[in-house]
Structure 1
Amino acid sequence: MIMTKTKDINKVINLSDSQYYLNRELSWLEFNRRVLHEALDRRTPLLEKLKFSAIFSSNLDEFFMVRVALLKEQVNAQLSQRSPDGRTPQQQLEAIAQQLRPMVQEQHRHFQQVLCPELASHGIHILNYTDITLEERNYLKQQFQQKIFPVLTPLAVDPSHPFPLMANLSLNLAVLVQAPNSTEEKFARVKVPNILPRFISLPQKSPTDNNKPNHWRGVPIEQAIAHNLEALFPGMIIKEYHLFRLTRDADLEFAEQEADDLLLAIQQELRKRHFGGSVVRLEIQPSMPSSVRQMLMAEMELSDFDVYEIEGLLNLKDLMSFMALPLPELKDPPFSAVIPPRLRHFHQPSKIANPDDEEKSIFSVIEQKDLLVHHPYESFSASVEEFIAQAARDPDVLAIKMTLYRTSGDSEIVHSLIAAAESGKQVAVLVELKARFDEENNITWAQKLEKSGIHVVYGLVGLKTHTKTALVVRKQGENIRRYVHIGTGNYNSKTAKLYTDLGLLSCREELGADLTDLFNYLTGYSCQSSYRKLLVSPVNMRDRMIALIKREIEHCKNGNKAHIIAKMNSLVDPQIIATLYEASSAGVEIDLIVRGICCLRPQVPQVSENIRVISIVGRFLEHSRIFHFHNNGKNEVFIGSADWMPRNLDRRVEAVTPVEEPELVQNLQNILQILLQDNRQAWELQSDGSYIQRHPDKNETERSAQALLMQMTHQS
């Protein structure tokens, strides 16, 4: 418990009081509301609006599979432990439903009433079956018979056919049929196959429609199935059909301490994910009759509380497929990452990097001074991938060690690691099998790496390894030198084009020694309790972060300027929040850039009136973590993999590094200032937990931080 004195010396405030904390789940919903706003914002290009609506739906799927599922488990277990804001699990579920239902209704109403007409005006027609011509219906029937019908499996429900087990996130048709000589209605379920495209394109009626080009015309696949059900139930009368979708608890549960083989344990749990978890949400259309609704609820053990009525198209995350349309005028302007200036000389076609040529080697660049790379503005492939690729080719490199949390399906880094091992180098990789929803992908890569002779570690029992680190050991003459990459983002070339992340490339001896100790901790047995430079979870990061905040408090008490700027994905940890409140109460100025969840309540008199919180939601996902402490003019800046959440500080292996090169410190300060001055995609958190989007004043220029950083990078 942290207490602080106010200006009224007779009043002491308990900074751990629940009134000073926002609810984690409701704060996440507010983040997803900001995502939805991008789909509603008239300034967003049309296909980008579809993308953001799809992301909103995809985010909700994961929210239900993990967070809502956890709360329901707690309710079923009759747990009454309250969240830091004082709510029981049941109260949180009720608050989620109250806040979420209007958001979902708004999303679908906007799609039907605004986006669909806008799409049609640009020649993109997402049609209902009733809107198409007889000729098009015949074409659709032919497509159904040739490509869809062979995949379908109707499942009857009667005394000899039990209610079918349905996959997580599956889209289904509830079909009521009747035999010609009977009055009894029978129920059957038809799964909409997710291995086929969700939308079926129709032949173009003509080169133009109403003098406007037709870029795409089509219908959802479930409508093609629904209007051809007689092929699935020959001789039966199709009475009615209704679409529904279900979401299951998909968080893996296994006893790590008791698992003899972590890989095998996770593989076994993955088989359960699609069918094994309890249903936590049922999405239906309002037209579904009460009898069918009640039957589904009974079979899935749901209440009305778990049912969401959706007007129109279900599962809007499939709208993402329209981003593949070749219509650049309806998307964000194209952007290509630039090669960092200090690396351009060996990326010129006439100067292909040769590991024997020290002047062209990335190692020689890092030796001159540390290199900071900022993605997606600066190229991931030309910096991080090139670092690993040159290490794999370089005959003087003796060893490469890396952590892989999430990597892309066709990873150049993985190929480089395999090539390095095949050339005789020592290669050790920690592949985190417990990276949620990437377990299968990571198992595949772990097995491929092992087959190539790489030492693969699957992570630590009880901890996720979330750190983004690479260590290269290189022989230079008679000496050994260690080169490091410490980043904020995953070694994933796909997300490196969509997420903002930072990475430090360095050969500082203390960082090399720290990473050596860290990898020994990850691959062997170690009780390492201190590091030279790195802040490492769960070893010293929590204590170091709190000490850095308290140092600003001391500077302020001594009459000096004190300022903290921190950028992260989420701020949840109660101890960190209470320490920030203590700093604010002492007069420390605090600016927080928190993309997603923020449980800190800003602008509360005598508690957080010196704390300002913004969130930026834009073209790129803000993923970088930067921690800046004024330190009485001796600025200290850190970057790394950790948010200020209990899981990052206590239950994950994380690494945060200081950035010490004065020029790079200044670069990070500039980035933070650009983000803080955003008046296009920045939202200000209010003390009640709501957010207000900034807009430029009449005489003020619009400043999008991401647009400005793109522009500045291309001018460098």
Structure 2
Amino acid sequence: MYTAYKSLLARAVQGRWLERGTDSRAMSSTPTIDNPVREASVSPAPPPRVSASALQENPYFNRELSWLSFNERVLAEACNGQYPLLERLRFLSISGSNLDEFMMIRVAGLVGQAQRGIDKPSIDGQTPTQQLSAIREKLAVLSEWQQDIWRDIHRSLAEADIHVADEQRVDPAAHEWLKSFFLEEILPVITPQALDPAHPFPFVQNEGMGLLFTLTRDADQDQIIEMILIPSALPRFVRVPSTPGDNGEAVYISIASLIQRYAQKLFPGFTIEGDGLFRVLRDSDIEIEEEAEDLVRTFRSAIQRRRRGQVIQLELEDDFDPKAEAILLEQLGVHEAAVIKTDGMIGIDGLAEIVNEDRPDLKFDAYSPRYPERIREHDGDAFSAIREKDIIIHHPYESFEVVVDFIRQAAEDPDVVAIKQTLYRAGSQSAVINALIDAAERGKSVTAVVELKARFDEEQNLTWATKLERAGVQVIYGFTDWKTHAKVAMVVRREDDGFRTYCHFGTGNYHPVTAKIYTDLSFFTADPKLCRDAAKMMNFVTGYVEPDALELISIAPLNLREELYRRIDTEIANAGKGKPAGIWMKCNQITDQGMIDRLYAASQAGVRIELVVRGICCLRPGVPGLSENIRVKSIIGRFLEHSRIYAFANGRAMPGPNAAVFISSADLMGRNLDRRVESLIPILNRTVHDQVLQQVLLANMLDTEQSWWLHADGGYSRVETDGKPFNCHRYFMTNPSLSGRGGALEAGAVPKLSLRKGRSG
């Protein structure tokens, strides 16, 4: 397997990762989805070919292994010679943080099941123990691949005058600066601790890094082992200050290397025989008892417990002292199977700090999102623009500021009487939160549903909840056992003809940072039916008042699954009547067995199904007699695909004006459909309908430059075309949206995408 990785890396380094034969900046205004496709294996370890009968007997992919395949595709972008060097480094660091979270949540969960003797099989029939075995085998290979990629990028960075952890590039003046920095900035905050019976073993926090030193006392030749934990408040790397003669070179040295370099200052009277760096990952999932009486207090306690969770993985340097390693394994309670040794970088995620180097020539061209022309034409009055016609904003190509301005305007408008909003993730510096606080301080009725169970944002959300309550906002925490994942904001405004409600529905979070890199949709409407449904959904969350007569919106866990089933069944029925039948879906994950089985049934009935699934996909496409009418692709590129769109032909050819189109906060996972509050919003306005279906969704279907086909055996391969390449991200960056463009732009200003008959793949 590793040989296959090495071969793949060699091809990537030689710049042949994806041979396009056409300038990568070229873009056709009328690309087609049926161009001939040349498929070359890109999986570092392609699975063996499996017979059709065997595939039918095991019709699902394993969720965890599918996720690792997703991270392989992320790693492949770090090899993409079409990308600037620091962007490749960014993808490498993302792969590291992805794997860390996977270990802390998914692997930790499986370890817990195995320890408790739970042998409930996964969707593909594997027990937790069997899954752990397969995962660890693949993780070992992925980790080696990461290090190979890092070594290649490290060399390329040096050629571009960015030197990482390279003390040979440090001149005498810089050495003096580093010594001073160590003595003044590092030495006061680190604490050496002897590891012996007289000193209890120190606690190593989750994602904590430390150094072990093997020392010999000069006076009596006794050997001791000392530990230094590296405080998380310290950066991973220190940039050596520039000097007049450095020719613009950047030199980075890791904090760990700096401590090792000047360790003698810590241990006078000792000879340092050896040292080694280690890193710890712990179980970071939070489980809440259903009978918890005080949700806030329970979460504060759970966050503290998470920091002390069971050790799931221990990373060590290859030449780690065996005696010191044995102490770590014993004191941390780590089984050898959870140890990863490397002769490369420990903590790949930390390389994100190097990406911040001010080298625009090594990054993607700067991009400034457009502010919707429609709202500008109304002098920035969001309510006037929405009242005229529904509008959908496509992030990050259109500015998230329009969402912030919607809440700000509501806060400042004397005619606004109430604001209600769900908050799943809002970030550490949130203009939306500040606007809600401003609204409350101005005397408006403000209600915020703050989701405490947003993984890894629990602590931040507790902080926001406290600030909101102090300002007079009515803070609701929703259900104990269901996450409120729906993204909705309601503004009630007093107008000449009575009260009018304006709504925002989103596929993404109210998070200003992720809104710049995640592709999401923000839908604004004053449609009375949608607004009445939104009010019922908010009452359901705040007061557990189950809605009795929803008009347009479907809500999980009440009826969202059933609505999607009904739409799929309609396509099955239409196919049986000889009518056009098709399903197009774009989401992040598909793992729910019931939904997969329904799509299999549709395929068997002759419904043509196109799925764009960025991450996990447990559905096995292209199996004769089961799923031969289903194609699955994954898009990995400059921006992270995050929007969820579900479209159904509805008796006419796809894509067309008769199609039933929905946006949603929900992926096709059991947790989204059954254990979260989610929303499914129908798109009825003609212009918005065209934008979502025939611009956003169709462009994703047509993309060739960033897309991968999923095959029946579980392997992924790059999409290649003999025609002109098409990059959906570039298309959106250079073309205004249909509903947000305003009257100033003529219809012809947006190239029309087309879909010829026929399919490839």
Task: State the TM-score, normalizing by the size of structure 1.
Answer: 0.93
Correspondence list, 1:347-362, <5 A: 351=379, 353=380, 361-362=381-382
What residue number does 1:225 align with? 259
- 1:132 offset after TM fit, Å? 4.3
Separation in structure 1 between the aligned mates of residue 255 and residue 57 of structure 2, nearest angstrom:
49
SS at match of 1:84: coil
Separation in structure 1 between the aligned mates of residue 417 and residue 325 of structure 2, nearest angstrom:
64
What residue number does 1:418 align with? 437
- 1:631 offset after TM fit, Å? 0.5
Question: Is 2:688 the counterpart of 1:656?
Answer: no
Separation in structure 2 between the aligned mates of residue 14 and residue 44 of structure 1, nearest angstrom:
41
- 1:259 offset after TM fit, Å? 1.9
2:709 corresponds, among 670, 684, 701, to 684
Separation in structure 1 between the aligned mates of residue 57 and residue 330 of structure 2, nearest angstrom:
37
What residue number does 1:323 align with? 355
In structure 2, relative to structure 1, the CA distance for the partners of 1:529 and 1:74 (3 Å cut) is farther
Mapped contact 1:266–1:433 kept (Cα < 8 A): yes
- 1:278-316, Cα deviation, whole Å (9 max, x unpaired): 000010111113332222122222222111112222112
What residue number does 1:288 align with? 320
- 1:215 offset after TM fit, Å? 3.3
In structure 2, relative to structure 1, the CA distance for the partners of 1:298 and 1:362 (3 Å cut) is same
2:659 corresponds, among 625, 630, 635, to 635
Q: Partner amino acid for 2:680? A: V
What residue number does 1:532 align with? 551
Q: Partner amino acid for 1:77? A: R
Q: Partner amino acid for 2:676? A: R
2:189 corresponds, among 138, 146, 151, to 151
Question: Is 2:472 the counterpart of 1:434?
Answer: no
2:334 corresponds, among 295, 298, 302, to 302
For structure 2, the residue ranges without an aligned partner over 5 or more in a row are 1-51, 653-657, 738-748, 751-761
What residue number does 1:673 align with? 698
Q: Partner amino acid for 1:339? A: Y
1:449 corresponds, among 468, 477, 484, to 468
SS at match of 1:87: coil
- 1:129 offset after TM fit, Å? 3.8
2:139 corresponds, among 89, 100, 105, to 100
Q: Partner amino acid for 1:407? A: A
- 1:371 offset after TM fit, Å? 0.7
Aligned length in residues: 682
- 1:134 offset after TM fit, Å? 5.3
Correspondence list, 1:354-503, <5 A: 361-381=381-401, 383-503=402-522
Mapped contact 1:16–1:574 kept (Cα < 8 A): no
- 1:367-421, Cα deviation, whole Å (9 max, x unpaired): 222111111111110x211111111111111111000000022212111111111
Mapped contact 2:275–2:321 kept (Cα < 8 A): no
Separation in structure 1 between the aligned mates of residue 335 and residue 161 of structure 2, nearest angstrom:
42
2:623 corresponds, among 565, 580, 604, to 604
1:268 corresponds, among 270, 295, 301, to 301
Question: Is 2:226 the counterpart of 1:188?
Answer: yes
Q: Partner amino acid for 1:21? A: Y
What residue number does 2:718 align with? 693
What residue number does 2:34 align with? none
Separation in structure 2 between the aligned mates of residue 159 and residue 398 of structure 1, nearest angstrom:
66
- 1:497 offset after TM fit, Å? 0.7
Mapped contact 2:165–2:257 kept (Cα < 8 A): no
Mapped contact 2:169–2:251 kept (Cα < 8 A): no
Separation in structure 2 between the aligned mates of residue 529 and residue 233 of structure 1, nearest angstrom:
72
In structure 2, relative to structure 1, the CA distance for the partners of 1:709 and 1:304 (3 Å cut) is same
In structure 2, relative to structure 1, the CA distance for the partners of 1:294 and 1:471 (3 Å cut) is same
SS at match of 1:460: coil
Mapped contact 1:128–1:223 kept (Cα < 8 A): no
- 1:448-469, Cα deviation, whole Å (9 max, x unpaired): 0000001000121110000000
Cα-Cα RMSD: 1.8
- 1:18 offset after TM fit, Å? 6.3
Task: State the TM-score, normalizing by the size of structure 2.
Answer: 0.87
Mapped contact 2:635–2:708 kept (Cα < 8 A): yes
Q: Partner amino acid for 1:378? A: E
Mapped contact 1:124–1:214 kept (Cα < 8 A): no
Separation in structure 1 between the aligned mates of residue 298 and residue 62 of structure 2, nearest angstrom:
33
1:709 corresponds, among 724, 728, 732, to 732
What residue number does 1:645 align with? 669
Q: Partner amino acid for 1:294? A: A
Mapped contact 1:15–1:582 kept (Cα < 8 A): no
2:100 corresponds, among 46, 50, 61, to 61
What residue number does 1:177 align with? 215
Separation in structure 2 between the aligned mates of residue 135 and residue 215 of structure 1, nearest angstrom:
15
Task: Answer with 225-234 or 514-523: which moved more.
Answer: 225-234
- 1:135 offset after TM fit, Å? 5.1
Q: Partner amino acid for 2:674? A: D
- 1:231 offset after TM fit, Å? 2.0
What residue number does 1:564 align with? 583
- 1:170-218, Cα deviation, whole Å (9 max, x unpaired): 111011122224344222210122212221222446535xxxx433113
What residue number does 2:45 align with? none
SS at match of 2:522: strand
Separation in structure 2 between the aligned mates of residue 53 and residue 118 of structure 1, nearest angstrom:
14
- 1:530-550, Cα deviation, whole Å (9 max, x unpaired): 421111000001111111111
- 1:220 offset after TM fit, Å? 1.0
1:109 corresponds, among 132, 142, 148, to 148
Mapped contact 1:489–1:623 kept (Cα < 8 A): yes
Separation in structure 2 between the aligned mates of residue 416 and residue 586 of structure 1, nearest angstrom:
51
For structure 1, the residue ranges without an aligned partner over 5 or more in a row are 1-12, 354-360
What residue number does 1:581 align with? 600
Task: Answer with 513-522 or 174-183: which moved more.
Answer: 174-183
In structure 2, relative to structure 1, the CA distance for the partners of 1:227 and 1:646 (3 Å cut) is same
Separation in structure 1 between the aligned mates of residue 176 and residue 428 of structure 2, nearest angstrom:
39
Mapped contact 1:199–1:219 kept (Cα < 8 A): yes
2:291 corresponds, among 244, 258, 278, to 258
Separation in structure 2 between the aligned mates of residue 393 and residue 25 of structure 1, nearest angstrom:
47
Question: Is 2:231 the counterpart of 1:214?
Answer: no
Mapped contact 1:530–1:539 kept (Cα < 8 A): no
SS at match of 1:631: coil
Mapped contact 1:129–1:223 kept (Cα < 8 A): no
- 1:504 offset after TM fit, Å? 1.2
Question: Is 2:237 the counterpart of 1:199?
Answer: yes
SS at match of 2:212: strand
What residue number does 1:5 align with? none
Q: Partner amino acid for 2:270? A: M
What residue number does 1:8 align with? none
Separation in structure 2 between the aligned mates of residue 218 and residue 546 of structure 1, nearest angstrom:
55
Separation in structure 1 between the aligned mates of residue 418 and residue 449 of structure 2, nearest angstrom:
14
Mapped contact 1:418–1:449 kept (Cα < 8 A): yes
SS at match of 1:35: helix
SS at match of 2:235: coil
What residue number does 1:238 align with? 272
- 1:505 offset after TM fit, Å? 0.6
- 1:423 offset after TM fit, Å? 1.4
- 1:661 offset after TM fit, Å? 0.9
- 1:494-542, Cα deviation, whole Å (9 max, x unpaired): 1111100002111111111101111111111313254211110000011
- 1:101 offset after TM fit, Å? 1.3
Separation in structure 2 between the aligned mates of residue 171 and residue 47 of structure 1, nearest angstrom:
25
What residue number does 1:358 align with? none
Question: Is 2:631 the counterpart of 1:592?
Answer: no
